[in-house]
């Protein structure tokens, strides 16, 4: 469930196809995200999941799996 919601957020912000996104997908290398894209994704995650992600945690998010872990730990 969380993966699909996160996938939808990424698709909407990065304008990529859902099939390009797996837990192992990296935001920068695989999807071409820049720092502004990452910021927008974090903001959308916070809104979509009703959580708050600490700024120190943001730097640790390299892959979709990293983001999923943060989402699960924040609930």
Look up the domain containing 58 and give its range.
2-74
pLDDT tens, position by position, 24-52? 999 999 999 999 999 999 999 999 999 99
Q: Give the pLDDT mean for 52-72.
A: 92
**The one catalytic residue among 34, 37, 54, 66:** 34
- Provide CB contacts within 8 A for 31, sequence distance 6+: 10, 14, 16, 20, 21, 25
Of the candidates 73, 5, 1, the one whose C-alpha atom is nearest the C-alpha of residue 45 is: 5
Q: For the whole model, what pTM was predicted?
A: 0.91
Residue that is written with structure tokens 């919601």 in the block = 5
What's the CATH number where 11 sits?
1.10.1200.10
What is the domain count for the chain?
1
34 is catalytic: yes
């Amino acid at each position: 469930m969380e993966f699909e919601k996160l996938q939808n957020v990424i698709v909407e912000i990065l304008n990529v196809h859902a099939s390009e996104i797996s837990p192992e997908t990296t935001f920068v290398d695989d999807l071409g995200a820049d720092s502004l894209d990452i910021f927008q994704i974090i903001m959308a995650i916070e809104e979509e999941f009703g959580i708050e992600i600490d700024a120190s945690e943001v730097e640790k998010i390299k892959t979709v799996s990293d983001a999923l872990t943060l989402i699960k730990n924040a609930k």
